[in-house]
Amino acid sequence: MKALLLGSIGTLSDTSELQRRAFNEAFRKHDLPWEWDRDTYRGMLTQAGGKDRIQRQADADGVEVDAEAVHQTKSDLFQSYLDDGKATSRPGIVDLITKARAAEIPVGLVTTTSPGNVAAILRAVGLTSGDFDLVLSRSDVSAPKPAPDCYHLASAMLAVAPEDCVAVEDNPDGAKAALAAGCTCLAWPNENTAGQDFGSAEMVDDPLERVLPDTVAAE
């Protein structure tokens, strides 16, 4: 491994339930009669893209909805939850970032969420962009995951071939993107993507133990 790529904000903090809460509150603010329960939302997470989820719901119900506006409200709410201290880092992830960089392995955050969400999650878990060698967001690529564009861009910017990169993803579309780019992909599901199909990605309970086993053994 010559580079470690963390593939979503969900690898830093398990925010899936916060996001579901933000969707439902946004629906109420826009007078939409939707309430996504956990099982419904879990089924939606097989495909990335919050705005697309809103549009698919509208299409299924045959209603006209400004999906962009609803999704912006959802994002604003989600970021406010993060700033209110409602999220914590996933166990071991800060240690993984610190130890990888100490071993001179570049670390990238390779997401296709909004720059605002990226900034909010970093604040929530006590990190900054300076803790990474590379931070990508939706503003950096035209095609979101499962397209591999963000991983191709990260590989090029770090000057590390995709096959020498290890990606950690918490959702199926992210895993598809990493694998399509030629990266090794470790699947680290969140509470709402556990049990979903991550294709040929390797399932892990502890990315640190898999990526840097020598540092774990030394502790």
Q: Which pLDDT tens digit goes with each residue over 100-110?
A: 999 999 999 99
pLDDT for residue 68 is more than 70: yes
Q: Of 173, 199, 198, which is closest to residue 188 (Cα–Cα)? A: 198
d(CA 206, CA 144): 26
Q: Is the dihedral of CA 139, 109, 79, 193 positive or negative?
A: positive
Residue 99: strand, helix, or coil: helix
Domain ranges of the chain: 3-13+89-217, 16-83
Phi, psi of 146 (to 5 degrees): -85, 5
pLDDT band for position 49 (50/70/90)?
confident
Establish whether domains 3-13+89-217 and 16-83 are of one fold: no
Determine the Cα–Cα distance for residues 125 and 54; give it in Å rounded to an integer. 28
Is residue 215 over pLDDT 70?
no
Is the pLDDT at 130 greater than 80? The verdict is yes
Right CATH for 3-13+89-217 from 3.40.50.1000, 3.30.450.190, 3.40.50.300, 3.30.1490.440: 3.40.50.1000
pTM of the full structure: 0.88
Q: Which CATH superfamily is domain 16-83 in?
A: Putative phosphatase; domain 2 (1.10.150.240)
The rounded Cα 118 to chain-centroid distance in angstroms is 9
Instruction: Report which of 146, 93, 139, 98 is spatially closest to residue 117, judged by C-alpha positions.
Output: 139
Identify whether the C-beta of residue 175 lies closer than 8 Å to the C-beta of residue 24.
no
ω into 207 cis (within 30 of 0): no
Residue 78 reports pLDDT greater than 50: yes
Residue 214 pLDDT > 70: no
